[in-house]
Amino acid sequence: QAGEAVPAAQRSSWTSFLKSIASFSGDLSSMTAPPFILSPVSLTEFPAYWCERPELFAAIGDQHNPEDRALTVLKWFISTLKGQYTSRNESMGSEKKPLNPVLGELFYGKWPDLNGRGQTDLLVEQVSHHPPITAYAIENKSKGIKLVGHNAQKTSFSGGSIIVKQIGHAVLMVKTPSGETEEYVITLPRLRIDGLWYGSPYIELAETSYIISKSYVCTIEYKGKGYFSGKSHSFKAVLTPAPGVSGKDHVIEGLWHTTSKFIGGPRNGKDFHDVTGKKEEVTALGGESGGEMGEFETRKLWSLVAKGIRDGDFETASREKSKIENEQRQRRRDEAAAGTTWQLKHFTHINSDPVFERLSPLAKIVPPTEDFYTFNENWPPTSR
């Protein structure tokens, strides 16, 4: 039955929400949705999913040759997908609509040093509000690994599903034993949000994403039910030496939210990844002196809205959300009157990323150029 997971009092607003998304394409995040589908978490917290298994991120820095590093990067990447795309279903029963970050919203965090893996630091900044663009930097200094990226989304509606094209890419930088910095361009899969009719949305990944370094090109294909294995959340990854590089191909197949195996190449038949075990949440940190959270830090900024959503007090949530939005509008008006613009704290926008321009042709990505937000390297403070 339509809307069977929707509270009876919200069925008509769910139907109108679905009608409006069906006739709309662009920025879904700013649309008003019925309370049952709201998440109390802002999109600025999502980059933490990149490091829910910090030891896998750290392991990239321990590899001694390009082939092992490329395989370890792939293993870490696949292991992030479960958190990125299924964790709201696990914790809240379905995919939800996250809080739409304000310009300049910040999130700082860390995963502490355990068992010699080194500390990993996280920094996130909302670098645009319209359209929403979130930039992030994740670094394990002691292992010489840094991930810098940004993401935005373009949404459309097709065959009863929301299709989300992810805009943006990440660059992973790894210090090799010879002291060189090896770079990887990571592109992002397309999402299909299904289950809308029933009021219990969930995500399936689709199409292809890439991980490209000067030594290896990895093509990852995503399928849902009825493809490779007939199961949801299937993927197949082919890792190939870049032109002119000698090495072996590796083929891996499985389910990104559970396990996968090598199905071709020198390790044929061996296990590849397993994310059924424990994950590790980020420890949120305050960015002000003394570890306090500033007014723009996501958990402080949205605290009353988030509490309202968690407590089912949607009147308070909506009143507090309007306060934040009105304050933002006023800020933009003041800036316009003063002839100034908002200054980003940690990132600088560039029209074309030289790393993407250099590496994307190896996977024949079109167009071979993309903008980027470079990280200003002013975090973490040395005392952390």
Task: Point out which residues bind ligand HCR (CB under 6 A).
Answer: 28-29, 37, 43, 46, 49, 84-85, 95-98, 151, 153, 164, 166, 193, 201, 203
Task: Give the nearer residue to ligand HCR in terms of CB position, either 106 or 164.
Answer: 164
Sequence-separated (6 or more) residues with CB below 8 Å from residue 87: 49
CB of 272 to ligand HCR, least distance (A): 22
Task: Give the nearer residue to ligand HCR in terms of CB position, either 16 or 181.
Answer: 16
- Give the three-state DSSP class for 86: helix
Measuring CA to CA, which residue among 264, 291, 248 is closest to residue 381?
291
Task: Give the nearer residue to ligand HCR in terms of CB position, either 54 or 66.
Answer: 54
CB of 168 to ligand HCR, least distance (A): 9
Task: Give the nearer residue to ligand HCR in terms of CB position, either 164 or 363.
Answer: 164
Task: Give the nearer residue to ligand HCR in terms of CB position, either 47 or 254.
Answer: 47
Measuring CA to CA, which residue among 191, 186, 184, 192 is closest to residue 168?
186
In the chain, the largest separation of any two C-alpha atoms, in whole Å, equals 65
Task: Give the nearer residue to ligand HCR in terms of CB position, either 58 or 147.
Answer: 147
Q: How do beta strands 97-99 and 38-42 pair?
A: parallel
CB of 100 to ligand HCR, least distance (A): 8
CB of 320 to ligand HCR, least distance (A): 20
Cα separation, 247 vs 312, in Å, equals 56
- Backbone torsion region of residue 287, taken as left when φ is above 0, otherwise alpha when ψ lies between -120 and 50, otherwise beta: alpha
In 265-339, beta strands by DSSP E: 271-274, 283-285
Cα separation, 31 vs 18, in Å, equals 11
CB of 201 to ligand HCR, least distance (A): 4
CB of 43 to ligand HCR, least distance (A): 6
